[in-house]
């Protein structure tokens, strides 16, 4: 497969992941509201996710040959902190603030953080300097986020 086809597949998968974020938010918020506990909802969601990730690991990648390399810097494991922060946040705030509003501000945070991460090549990511075109695009997207928000 050529690079254009591969990039199209990557873009399509990430688009679908983006489509899933508000759906996940609505489902998580609904579960938290019905259980009357965002934390219990988060635990249940993580158990379900753990089982699915475990099945994927064993079926697709096979049994790991050993423990992770101890030389991996600890910050690479901190993604879990952001996952739980998002899950608890959307589960608690989504039903009170609106899923659309919550996801719009999540999107704004993503836009700003991805720009900083890309510009400086942080966390071993590819480095893409901010250009005037990217900056203007970021401003347009941020403006769009604020225009979409129903109440703030």
> Which pLDDT belongs to residue 152?
59
pLDDT for the residue numbered 132? 95
Q: Give pLDDT, residue 151.
A: 65
pLDDT at 93: 93
Q: What is the mean pLDDT of residues 98-103?
A: 89
Show the CA angle centred on residue 105, arms to residues 116 and 81, nearest 5°.
65
Residue 32 has a pLDDT of: 94
Rounded Cα–Cα distance for residues 22 and 35 (Å): 20
Domain ranges across the chain: 3-148
> Is residue 144 packed enough to be buried (19+ CB in 10 Å), middle (13-18) or exposed (0-12)?
middle
Question: What pLDDT shows up at residue 61?
Answer: 94
The per-residue pLDDT of the chain, averaged, comes to 91
Whether pLDDT at 83 is above 90: yes
**47-56, 74-83, 107-116, range with greatest mean pLDDT:** 47-56
| Residue 90 CB burial class (10 angstroms; 0-12, 13-18, ≥19) | buried
| Cβ-based neighbours of 25, under 8 Å, separated by 6 or more | 90, 94, 99, 102, 103
Report pLDDT digits (tens) over 29-78: 999 999 999 999 999 999 999 999 999 999 999 988 888 778 888 888 89
Residue 3 has a pLDDT of: 84
Residue 57 per-residue DSSP state: I
pLDDT digits (tens, 9 = 90+) for 120-149: 999 889 999 999 999 999 999 889 888 888
């Amino acid at each position: 497969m050529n690079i254009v086809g591969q990039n199209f597949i990557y873009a399509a998968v990430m688009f679908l992941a983006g489509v899933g974020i508000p759906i996940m938010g609505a489902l998580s918020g609904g579960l938290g509201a019905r259980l009357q506990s965002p934390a219990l909802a988060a635990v249940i969601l993580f158990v379900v996710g753990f089982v699915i990730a475990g099945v994927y690991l064993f079926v697709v990648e096979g049994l790991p040959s050993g423990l992770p390399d101890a030389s991996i810097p600890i910050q690479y494991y901190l993604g879990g902190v952001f996952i739980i922060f998002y899950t608890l946040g959307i589960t608690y705030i989504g039903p009170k603030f609106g899923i659309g509003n919550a996801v719009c501000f999540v999107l704004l945070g993503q836009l700003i953080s991805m720009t900083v991460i890309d510009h400086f090549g942080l966390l071993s990511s590819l480095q893409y300097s901010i250009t005037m075109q990217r900056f203007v695009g970021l401003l347009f997207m941020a403006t769009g986020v604020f225009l979409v928000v129903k109440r703030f």
